Structure 1
């Protein structure tokens, strides 16, 4: 495929897909000494991996489908992930109001008992029953909701988790190329010839690699067919999940899990200090995953689901933001209910010639174990060791002493007293110790450069552009951060103009 004058580089692993699975695999492989290239057709975490419910959780509802192995695997990961990224992953308590017509109390107690004990919980508090007549979590709920349960899971800044894994790839000698599509791959006995196209300027380059990992998420089957002219025959279900964000509808810091009349569960979670995140739907999807949006029916469904429980009612007009993502779930059964299709993953290794590993399914919580198992399959073929290291090494910004977020935040505020309290909290929650790189020698807010509104300053945009591959306003204020919720249309346009100018300077440098 290479033409005269085109650059050809050699790698041990080319990972196609810059979502959480691809990023985790690339990090694991780079840490084992392999030469790694990760390519992503859009921005990092552009699609599914920035459209989750933002939870590191075992999946309490999966117990009803007897997915004990998946739940156990996920529960074990919660505290591991908190250890390597304490800035972007932290504990949450969940309140589950009980409606006896939907699930009997004994079933919920049994499920929570299993949830407490399947994963070897050490740090997170266990579950308990609640009297919602007297507990603060009952105050925003309708008077008829009197009994409930409380349990623990964790929050995660999902798209940031992807970016931090990619930052670690480069710190370990690998290469990450967002906005680069794999447009062709020819297989030899010992290596692949891979064609890459820059989706911004159309430039084409060719690389050679001893192996290819297909972690293209909802495009996993399409990539096999289009770029590789292969069909692996797996039954892949595309499922859309949509979320809505509204001004906060309760004041405390705990979250809710509501049982819905169709058997599903809906989360209501404190979000970005001033909002409530509500989700998710499960809808079979056809079409381009990049174009997935929340339908009017989904928005109304989510409003109706929480209105069943809250005194203060919400309507579609109250929604300030929506987002949707498409998951590729694999299933070998004839199950028609997409909510019942397994959220576990499948790894398909074809090593008849140069190795090809395809990743089907998966979820954010188990990305690290998926990555380890994936690299374990190709490592022996590439002369790399079998090792489990990624749970012991902090992700960028996660090297907070003793993982104590509050103590680190207090130190930052002591050293930089000019930072507003809410801004300091947000910066440490997003960037951890990397905030010191961002702030540099600044001694006042004026030293942070142009002020775009809320607590968005040029120093943060510059950091995102220079260290985290942000090229557009959307990259910066909707994926690397959620500043877009705090900025009005004119302010967002100013951010967009800044990135346009920055990219022009970069292109001519």
Structure 2
């Protein structure tokens, strides 16, 4: 089962004869942000913290598209050094350091093993690349371990690999729960005064000299009208269609849509390192420990022309990823081993690169002042989302005389306010104080929610008080928290974005959870 995003925008609706929709006028805001992916919610967070009035709308769920379909990494992009993207890599590595401090519960260090294939890249080239990678982010030996050569016949990561691989390199990057990163940004924005409307599409935007008149439509068909002093187009793969179909604004920029697909298979190795595998086509594929019992393999880079709302992995991509991993692992991977897949569409700036994998992952912020301000966001990635948002708000804030300056560089995300950003100490204390919690559940609550896990268990002294268990270790108390504080409105919101418990749920368990969520949301 795979969850895919629906865009933050909707084509203008055709009124049905005799249909009467309720219309609600919302208060005027400084900033209306369209799109609830990582860029939109990060901008909402930054802007709200600067004292601007902010409204964000997303047609579906937070992070229900590209932002939950990533390879789950906070990284500089080692392979981008080959394309001389030194500024982008340096910026991303600096952000990696910040994000590890801001959200130590959902982001943590991960060591990567690169088995050496001399005919693909010589060892000296890899050593130089890793030397630069270690230093571009300003590492001084105190943050993440540096890179080094390893003997794969002695290193634990060499055991699952084919015997022909005897030399490798190890370096550091970080893992992230991608959809949770977006949700936490939205939560912080909301707690700082922003209004976040999910299941709400922007269907029309009329530009005036000094404001935008915008129509929003909820899932219930109700129309809301809002006036905004500026509009932010953070619709990701729909950034161009938003300009064409909703805002009706002329533009000269194009996006190149690239589909990236991943497969999940039963666990292929028992250690905590990840792998980065070079391929004959000079692409790289990751194999990463995933949800304790699985291995995540990805990603592909395929030009995509269809509807970004419903990307699906195709047979050729599945075969490519299976063969990519099988070139390295002793245990061959077959398409029949795949237990889950997901695909996302990345909106990359079209720089006329011949290969999809060589297109820049940098972003462009384009402020249009031909009337009320319009800020278009083109490109971007998880790792640089905070910096992108800071630059966006630095661009917009002077237009409103925002009372506060940039502030997000050191501010923890919700749940990330752990003493010393020390997750292990927090987890140990949390578990010792609640011996009635099963170890696996205590760890998952700490990893998903950090200090906010206390809100789920604070009134409980035994497991039964967490309420009904729907499957795996998901209890009613956690579901209620997700509905009340994280905009969860369906079972899929919970199982495939705010957690990956869908991998462990049966169809019957999922249906029971959906019934509970529907009743709980209906009663809210």
TM-score, structure 2 as length reference: 0.94
Distance (whole Å) between structure 1 residues aligned to residue 336 and residue 404 of structure 2:
53
1:69 alignment partner in structure 2:
87
Contact 2:386 2:408 in 1 (8 A): yes
Distance (whole Å) between structure 2 residues aligned to residue 49 and residue 124 of structure 1:
25
1:289 alignment partner in structure 2:
308
Contact 1:217 1:328 in 2 (8 A): yes
2:326 alignment partner in structure 1:
307
Q: Which structure 2 residues correspond to residues 254-293 of structure 1 after superposition, within 5 A?
A: 254-293=273-312
Unaligned runs of 5+ in 2: 1-11, 13-20
Q: Which structure 2 residues correspond to residues 37-436 of structure 1 after superposition, within 5 A?
A: 37-121=55-139, 122-198=142-218, 200-331=219-350, 333-384=351-402, 387-436=405-454
Q: CA deviation at 1:190?
A: 1.2
Among 486, 501, 507, the residue aligned to 2:504? 486
Distance (whole Å) between structure 2 residues aligned to residue 301 and residue 495 of structure 1:
35
Contact 1:94 1:151 in 2 (8 A): yes
Contact 1:97 1:148 in 2 (8 A): yes
Q: CA deviation at 1:296?
A: 1.2
Q: CA deviation at 1:387?
A: 2.7
Deviates more, 1:228-237 or 1:429-438: 228-237
Contact 1:164 1:395 in 2 (8 A): yes
Contact 1:221 1:231 in 2 (8 A): no
- The 3-state SS of whatever aligns with 2:204 is strand
Distance (whole Å) between structure 2 residues aligned to residue 390 and residue 305 of structure 1:
39
Contact 1:51 1:323 in 2 (8 A): yes
Contact 1:380 1:386 in 2 (8 A): no
Q: CA deviation at 1:392?
A: 1.3
- The 3-state SS of whatever aligns with 1:238 is strand
Contact 2:60 2:200 in 1 (8 A): yes
Q: Which structure 2 residues correspond to residues 24-39 of structure 1 after superposition, within 5 A?
A: 24-39=42-57
Distance (whole Å) between structure 1 residues aligned to residue 356 and residue 197 of structure 2:
33
Q: What whole-Å deviation, never above 9, does each CA across 1:385-406 have from its counterpart, x for those lacking one?
A: 5733112111100011111111
Q: What whole-Å deviation, never above 9, does each CA across 1:349-406 have from its counterpart, x for those lacking one?
A: 0123211000000010000110000111111011115733112111100011111111
Give the CA RMSD over aligned residues: 1.3
Q: CA deviation at 1:7?
A: 1.5
Contact 1:90 1:155 in 2 (8 A): yes
Among 9, 18, 38, the residue aligned to 2:36? 18
Q: Which runs of at least 4 in structure 1 moved beyond 6 Å after TM superposition? A: none
Q: CA deviation at 1:4?
A: 9.2
Distance (whole Å) between structure 2 residues aligned to residue 385 and residue 323 of structure 1:
42
Q: Size of the alignment, in residue pairs?
A: 503
Contact 2:240 2:254 in 1 (8 A): no
Distance (whole Å) between structure 2 residues aligned to residue 7 and residue 348 of structure 1:
29
Change (3 A) 1:4 1:145: closer
Contact 2:22 2:222 in 1 (8 A): no
